[in-house]
Homo-oligomer: A and B are copies of this chain.
């Protein structure tokens, strides 16, 4: 009975240990969400600056650069503290291999930021190219948040992370829409073919952000639904839809007024800031949710540690022979304590089972993205495409066939055994 309880206590300790690590991952996710927001702002400003030939948004871009440099420094200093020097022993973190690899990939992407900024400032790169490079950095950071949601072992916190990931992903689609629209307005009338592709892109970005926001709402904690409803009510949707219509008309050959670029940017930015408010509230709640889960475990009357203490306070069990202590001391226990231990055992086993089921249900919400990632991987392997190209091929196929991205991904995976390997 003593060993039973020792392992029950060990299990509880593992759970608390995992939650403490999860709290740290949540801090990281919060820093990442701040940096993503700032990079989105910098991307939009850089876009307007480049598309206007360096005429507008000069100081605004500089202000955005300062804000995102600040967010990047905050993230890097948080990470340096975790890293703790090259020779520091890395503590075992649940899902550590996956999370740390995503951090490495994100840091590597951010290493390109200084060069990109220099090129933008000197107007040595095109707006579309700068956008693509910012997109990649944001994608690497979002992948980190996705991984944190996927490796989280607590369903309550995992739900919050899934909600946050979807909100961030939806906001990123909205941010890309802002960048694409700003570039189109600022350029006046783009070439017809570019405008047509832009129109398709715009429709895709609108669809994708709506799908993400729906998933966010499905996982949003009740206490934030009010905040989110207020944020949505404050969004300038009438104006946004009017300007979206103009952009789509441009894809059919209509002209755009470059003077409207800033109005479009301001309108999209207002919406992004409102999404950001909910996002920040959600991100800030993550650590509290972890601490709350830890406190609940510690306040549990069935806590194995307190049962172990009660067991230790019992008189020393004596074997039937009267010489050696019995192996488990069951007989010597009071019936009430014995009952408590059995109850604690069953409660813990059932609780973990229920948590595991719930976790599986939450993670299903992440499967769509996993399918798309896997399909991208298949296309990279079989067709020798780069990651961006593979994604664009999937997206173009989906748009051309009027199917959802995830359905195209599934079709690619189903076919992948039949595809010849790249020679």
Interface-forming stretch among A223-231, A342-350, A401-409?
A: A342-350
Q: Which chain A residues have a beta carbon within 8 Å of chain B's beta carbons?
A: 1, 3-15, 17-18, 21, 76, 79-80, 83, 86, 90-94, 96-105, 107-108, 111, 114, 153, 308, 312, 327-328, 330, 342, 345, 348-350, 352-354, 356-357, 370, 373-374, 377
Given known pairs A4-B111, A377-B354, the reply for A18 and B92 (CB within 8 Å) is: yes
B349-A6 in contact (CB<8A): no
**Identical chains in the assembly:** 2
Q: What's the nearest-Cβ distance from chain B to residue A404, in Å?
A: 21
Given known pairs A4-B111, A373-B353, the reply for A104 and B345 (CB within 8 Å) is: yes
Query: In this complex, what residue of B is CB-closest to A351?
Result: B101
Q: What's the nearest-Cβ distance from chain B to residue A325, in Å?
A: 14
Point out the residue from B5, B96, B356, B373 that lies within 8 Å of A98, measured CB to CB: B356
| A13–B83 CA distance with the chains assembled, in angstroms | 12
| A93–B21 CA distance with the chains assembled, in angstroms | 13
Residues of B close to A357: CB separation below 8 A:
370, 374
A98-B352 in contact (CB<8A): yes
Given known pairs A4-B111, A107-B4, A345-B105, the reply for A90 and B10 (CB within 8 Å) is: yes
| A13–B350 CA distance with the chains assembled, in angstroms | 33
| A92–B10 CA distance with the chains assembled, in angstroms | 10
Residues of B close to A102: CB separation below 8 A:
349
Residues of B close to A353: CB separation below 8 A:
373-374, 377
A8-B345 in contact (CB<8A): no
Residues of B close to A79: CB separation below 8 A:
3, 7
Q: What's the nearest-Cβ distance from chain B to residue A300, in Å?
A: 13
B7-A104 in contact (CB<8A): yes
Would you list 12 pairs from A and B whose C-beta atoms are within 8 A, ordered by A residue? A7-B103, A10-B83, A10-B96, A11-B96, A11-B99, A11-B104, A91-B92, A97-B352, A105-B349, A111-B330, A353-B377, A357-B370
A8-B354 in contact (CB<8A): no
B111-A6 in contact (CB<8A): no
Residues of B close to A91: CB separation below 8 A:
92
Given known pairs A7-B103, A101-B11, the reply for A92 and B90 (CB within 8 Å) is: no
